[in-house]
């Protein structure tokens, strides 16, 4: 500014809508003791703004009409990008062999806003191992994004997932502070093993298997081509062999069937046989005297 210091500047802050209609108008002024002055631009609320400088004065000259045509500066304030978990309170539960081929069914949903594409920076912390990994997710184009945990992170225990930063294509960056944390748990895989080493059993035998994992368990087995489902809260699964046939363990699951482990075909089978018997249809009992005693024989 040229003139005699100090200077005075009067201006109006006009907020416009998307069709350039006036939403609000605020009058303001500043004083400057130097040849330069700064007008603080609005950045607290996104939208379009117009700054109309309507009056300029110095120490010796003050004409209310010296700016017949306002000096105008326009500003576009873009909203900060956001990212938040759809449901941050309920932990997600996975198995070590969870498949994410259908990520919309198994992934962790995140709602995103901003100028796409968007980049997310997230932190993944294993609560038991205290291992921390930071992941950058680039070129996100979807308002509803499904985060898929890397395969190597699907280790037993609880994991904490935090959105650290979101940046959009306009360079706007924010650090979310609400609904930006969630957890997921990787359940320990259930297992089943036979307590008897032999595969052949007789009718009337008790056939037992030991279970490992988290109660309750669900066991799927097949007997003579018919599939059955059994549940138990104890770490032992037992059945009485009532008739002959083949018993095959198909799968075992724990935590109310959340994680299911399939047993490879042919690796856990039991063969149940009838008890051998002897039947005498016709014959004559013969008693012979011998020196050390007597014996009964069946002859036919």
- pLDDT for 299: 31
* Three-state DSSP state, 199: coil
Average pLDDT taken over every residue of the chain = 86
From residue 87, how far is each of 91, 110, 148, 163, 181 by CA, in Å?
Answer: 9, 9, 15, 13, 9
> Considering only CA atoms, which of 19, 185, 16 is closest in space to residue 94?
185
Judge whether residue 274 has pLDDT over 80: yes
Given 3-state DSSP classes, what are the helix, strand and coil percentages for the chain, each rounded to the nearest 5? 0, 55, 45
User: Rounded mean pLDDT of 220-231?
Assistant: 93
Closest C-alpha to 158, from 134, 137, 131, 180: 131
Question: Above 60 in pLDDT, residue 297?
Answer: no
> What does pTM read for this prediction?
0.65
Q: What is the pLDDT of residue 119?
A: 97
Residue 82 has pLDDT above 90, yes or no: yes
What average pLDDT does range 102-120 have in this prediction?
93
Task: Note the pLDDT of residue 281.
Answer: 59
pLDDT tens digits for range 202-224? 999 999 999 988 888 999 999 98
For the cut 50, the answer to whether the pLDDT of residue 76 exceeds it is yes
- Rounded-to-integer distance, Cα 236 and Cα 192, Å: 9
Query: In this predicted structure, what is the pLDDT of residue 291?
Result: 41
87 contacts 37 by C-beta, under 8 angstroms: no
Q: Is the distance from CB of 232 to CB of 245 less than 8 angstroms?
A: no
């Amino acid at each position: 500014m040229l003139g005699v210091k100090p200077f005075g500047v009067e201006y109006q802050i006009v907020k416009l809508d998307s069709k350039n209609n006036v939403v609000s108008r605020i009058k303001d002024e500043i004083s400057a003791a130097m040849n330069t002055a700064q007008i603080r631009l609005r950045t607290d609320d996104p939208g379009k703004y117009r700054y109309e400088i309507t009056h300029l004065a110095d120490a010796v000259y003050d004409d209310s009409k010296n700016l017949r045509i306002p000096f105008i500066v326009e500003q576009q304030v873009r909203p900060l990008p956001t990212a938040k978990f759809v449901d941050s309170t309920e932990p997600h539960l996975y198995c070590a062999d969870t498949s994410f081929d259908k990520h919309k069914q198994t992934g962790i949903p995140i709602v995103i806003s901003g100028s796409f594409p968007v980049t997310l920076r997230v932190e993944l912390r294993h609560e038991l191992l205290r291992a921390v990994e930071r992941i950058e997710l680039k070129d996100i184009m979807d308002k509803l994004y499904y985060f898929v945990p890397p395969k190597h992170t699907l280790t037993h225990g609880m994991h904490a997932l935090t959105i650290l930063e979101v940046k959009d294509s306009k360079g706007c960056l924010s650090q979310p502070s609400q609904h930006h944390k969630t957890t997921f748990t990787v359940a320990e895989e259930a297992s089943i093993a036979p307590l008897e080493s032999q595969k052949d059993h007789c009718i009337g035998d008790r056939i037992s298997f030991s279970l490992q994992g988290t109660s309750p368990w669900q066991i799927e087995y097949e007997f003579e081509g018919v599939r059955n489902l059994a549940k138990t809260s104890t770490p032992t699964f037992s059945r009485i062999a009532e008739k002959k046939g083949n018993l095959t363990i198909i799968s075992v699951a724990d935590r109310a069937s959340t994680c299911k482990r399939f047993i490879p075909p042919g690796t856990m089978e039991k063969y149940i046989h009838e008890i051998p018997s002897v039947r005498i249809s016709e014959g004559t009992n013969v008693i012979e005297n011998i020196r050390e005693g007597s014996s009964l024989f069946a002859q036919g």
